[in-house]
A = this chain, B = another copy of it.
Amino acid sequence: MAGSTLGHLFRITTFGESHGPAIGAVVDGCPPGMSLSVEDIQLDLDRRKPGTSRHVTQRQEADQVEILSGVFEGKTTGTPIALVIRNTDQRSQDYGDILDSFRPGHADYTYWHKYGIRDPRGGGRSSARLTAPVVAAAAVAKKWLAEKHGISFYGYMTQLGDLEIPFEDQSQISQNPFFAPSAKIIPELEAYMDQLRKAGDSCGARLTVVAKNVPVGLGEPIFDKLDADIAHAMMGINAVKGVEIGAGFKSVAQKGSEHGDEMFADGFASNNAGGMLGGISSGQDVVVSIAIKPTSSIMSPKQSINRAGDVSVVQTKGRHDPCVGIRATPIAEAMLALVIMDHVLRHRAQCGDVSVSTPRIPAQRP
């Protein structure tokens, strides 16, 4: 199965390389009749865009999306929506070194062995730039989910390098470049990043994303569980090395008497489950955390080999994010939205005429 496609019923296929003519996505299966404009998509793209603070890459990309199809007189027609973003910053660079030597932590070595050829310009297809079409496509899903089901998404940083970030104030998330839910930790984060940049090094991050108001019943019992599909989507984001649902790795040390979320008529008492039971959404908030590794492109030299198999020293120049996690929150939200959108349609397909008299309880007790 060719692999550049995500989802079954709401299905996106992306294309493009970091420094080729354009990147983009085809969104197939979108329900018809929804209002959709470039503005609806641009908002999320801008949240992900590089160059917005000194803590991220200074590369300038307009990231201006164009809708090539699937919309007529401002409404989705049900046919594929093609989204294209031209690469404006294709500065010709000397990539001779990168072509010859394999950067540690990068996809250079693996692409080379897999394909026998690769596009070295800015990382080619392995560049984090390829998350832009995903964010664009997900904006379509988010809009439909909000309008039809009142589902909303938000995400935030919970750890930067070894600094844990407390959840103090959700309204702060959009007020700082880190997506941190705390105002007072910002100076500490900034100092941390400034020092890191000065040292020519990089660090990792931990993010949490949440979907609220998800219907009960999404997901399949085996294999295509909702959490399994979420894990697939999240681990598919560049640099992600771990995925947790709800209590995640903390659940290892929990007792059964503690972990299982008790249920009351006025809601669930807790949310260790992270919104899924038996792979199927429970109506609790869907809560997903991811670990993002430190950027591999650093100024400090590292040992490697070249195409001949000989020893080589690699030192990255250019404009790289010292922590790719900083811009990843909108990407993780996007992935979560795409998976939920697909499962809303899958669920409707099979169980569209199911109704039970049992009331749905609230996501959380008051």
Contact = CB atoms under 8 A, between A and B. Distances in A.
Contact of A69 (B23, B220, B357): B23
Q: Copy number in this complex?
A: 4
Nearest to A20: B69
Contacts of A231: 228, 231-232, 234-235, 243
A194 to B, nearest CB: 15
Interface string A288-319: 00011111111010111101111100000000
Interface string A1-41: 11111111111011111001111101011111100000000
Contacts of A254: 203-204, 293-294
A4 B222 contact: yes
Interface in A237-291: 238, 240-265, 269, 272-274, 276-283, 291
Given A114-B216, A252-B205, A269 B303 contact: yes
Interface string A222-234: 1111011111111
Nearest to A220: B3
A201 interface: yes
Interface residues of A, number: 171
A29 B102 CA distance: 24
Interface string A317-358: 000000000000000000000000000011111111111111
A191 B66 CA distance: 46
A257 B298 contact: yes
A75 B263 CA distance: 28
A104 B241 contact: no
Given A13-B28, A14-B223, A29-B349, 11 more contacts: A2-B10, A13-B13, A17-B70, A110-B282, A113-B216, A115-B217, A236-B279, A241-B248, A254-B293, A257-B300, A307-B358
Given A110-B217, A298-B256, A291 B249 contact: yes
24 contacts: A2-B7, A3-B28, A14-B80, A15-B82, A16-B69, A17-B69, A21-B69, A72-B118, A105-B261, A106-B277, A109-B263, A110-B219, A110-B277, A111-B221, A126-B278, A201-B255, A206-B249, A223-B233, A235-B243, A242-B243, A254-B294, A256-B300, A259-B296, A263-B303
A305 B264 contact: yes
Given A277-B110, A280-B107, A242 B232 contact: no
A222 B236 contact: yes
B125 A222 contact: yes
Given A2-B10, A252-B292, A309 B361 contact: yes
Interface in A45-98: 66-70, 72, 75-82, 84
A201 B201 CA distance: 46
A24 B81 CA distance: 11
B114 A251 contact: no
B351 A349 contact: no
A130 interface: yes
A291 B252 CA distance: 6
Nearest to A6: B223
A116 interface: yes
A216 B109 CA distance: 9
B2 A28 contact: yes
A274 B239 CA distance: 12
Contact of A13 (B80, B115, B247, B261): B80
